[in-house]
Amino acid sequence: MRNYLVTGGAGFIGSNFIHYMFRKHEDIRIINVDSLTYAGNLGNLEAVKDRDDYTFIKADIRDKEAIEKIFSENDIDVVVHFAAESHVDRSIVNPEVFVETNVLGTAVLLNAAKAAWENEDGSFKEGKKFLHVSTDEVYGSLSDPSDYFYETTPYDPHSPYSASKASADLLVKAYIDTYHFPANMTNCSNNYGPYQFPEKLIPLMINNALSGKKLPVYGDGKNVRDWLYVDDHCKGIDMVIDKGVMGEKYNIGGHNERENIQIVKTIIKTLQEILPDDDPRKKGISEDLITYVEDRKGHDRRYAIAPDKISRELGWLPDTKFEDGIKLTIKWYLEHKDWMDNITSGDYQEYYKRMYKV
């Protein structure tokens, strides 16, 4: 039995990863550590909560004693580190939290894993690996439409969020270079799919459209992102854990570049196709809901990941075309209205008004 410590497992990608791993593997145990901030939701894991091979521990990755205790009481083989403050808008309002969680929290995890896995001679126990999950935003913005982000692209972060993730990446690299620490890094493009917190573009637009609310689009809506269905990302992470060369980093991208305004219009069109004619919500869903709002500060124009390395060396390819993935995603949200209603109550409404002013 291989023991996985998943940080941030109650969040969007983390919870999808846990579901994915239990579907694909029988001989694993997962310990999920999450502090349950606004983006963490144990409702994402209802289907696995009673499994004998699953344990949830509420803890903050910045809490040195709590993290060290987890390592001392469990023979952790793999750390999959998702836990992070991840929303750019929130980082602009409160950058300190992002530095504390994303940088200090990563350092605490690295130190705890190093102490638990290191032999007396400075080598590390066999079969151990630390997988640090990062973002394409650390690379900055692409101005040439023919350019892509590669693993060798220099870092050029522009937001407090991406700067904090870049700092965490460099910490992991330093542990690899200094201690020969058994780690890999992955840098992914924009994920979408089930359980995503509705401050992110796709679930925000789905929820607003279904509620007949305005669809706020930053600036001219022509910022380009590369979209990756979350299950494809989880598959890539699993492959890097099993086959990734120690110390290497791998970009995971979907080759699905879209302007933000294209994404919004696709959601409108897909909802119109999926909803039955007698659904009262259908009449109110149109492009008339699109509302352009003041652009985000420091808004990067284009991200585009080149997943050539992971495809060439590990055989990873995305299975889900965007046209299929967006339908799967919209259907999931339509079937989980209670989940969305619960998430978007209370504090979320105040945050939404403050961010978009619509």
60, 77, 85, 136: the catalytic one is 136
Residue 85 vs residues 73, 105, 186: alpha-carbon distances, Å:
27, 10, 17
Q: How confident is the model at residue 356 (pLDDT cuts 50, 70, 90)?
A: very low
- Supply the pLDDT for residue 283: 93
In a domain, 291, yes or no: no
Going by pLDDT thresholds of 50, 70 and 90, the confidence category of residue 215 is: very high
**Residue 348: band (very low, low, confident or very high) from pLDDT cuts 50, 70, 90:** very low
Instruction: Give this prediction's pTM.
Output: 0.93
**CATH number for the domain including 311?**
3.40.50.720
Query: What DSSP character marks residue 104?
Result: I
* Residue 126 within a domain: yes
* pLDDT at 86 exceeding the cut of 60: yes
* Residue 358 resides in a domain: no
pLDDT above 90 (res 297): no
Q: Is residue 330, in this structure, part of any structural domain at all?
A: no
Summarize pLDDT for 301-320 with one digit per residue, the tens. 999 999 999 999 999 999 99
* Cα dihedral: 180, 183, 189, 193 (round 10): -170
Question: Is 60 exceeded by the pLDDT of residue 349?
Answer: no
Percent of the chain topping pLDDT 90: 84
> Is 276 domain-assigned?
no
- Burial (CB < 10 A; 0-12, 13-18, 19+), residue 73, is exposed
**Candidate list 34, 77, 137, 169, residue with the active-site label:** 137
Q: Does residue 354 surpass a pLDDT of 70? A: no
Boundaries of domain holding 158:
2-192+228-254+298-319
- Look at residues 253, 203, 247, 264 and name the one whose alpha carbon lies nearest to residue 228: 253
161 is catalytic: yes
Nearest-angstrom CA–CA distance, 13 and 19: 10
Judge whether residue 270 has pLDDT over 90. Answer: yes
Integer Rg of the chain from CA: 20
| Residue 345 resides in a domain | no
Q: Is 303 a catalytic residue?
A: no
Catalytic residue among 161, 175, 250, 333: 161
- Whether residue 346 is predicted with pLDDT greater than 70 in this model: the reply is no
- Catalytic residue status for 352: no
Q: How many domains does the chain have?
A: 1
The answer, yes or no, to whether residue 277 has pLDDT greater than 50, is yes
| 173-183 residue pLDDT tens | 999 999 999 99
Lowest mean pLDDT among 86-100, 151-165, 256-270: 86-100
| In a domain? residue 208 | no
Q: What is the pLDDT of residues 24-82, one digit of tens each?
A: 999 999 999 999 987 888 989 999 999 999 999 999 999 999 999 999 999 999 999 99
Mean pLDDT in residue range 196-220: 93
Question: Considering the chain, what is the average pLDDT of its residues?
Answer: 93
The single residue listed with the structure tokens 């269905």 is 229
- Give residue for tokens 């009481």: 73
Residue 236 lies in a domain: yes
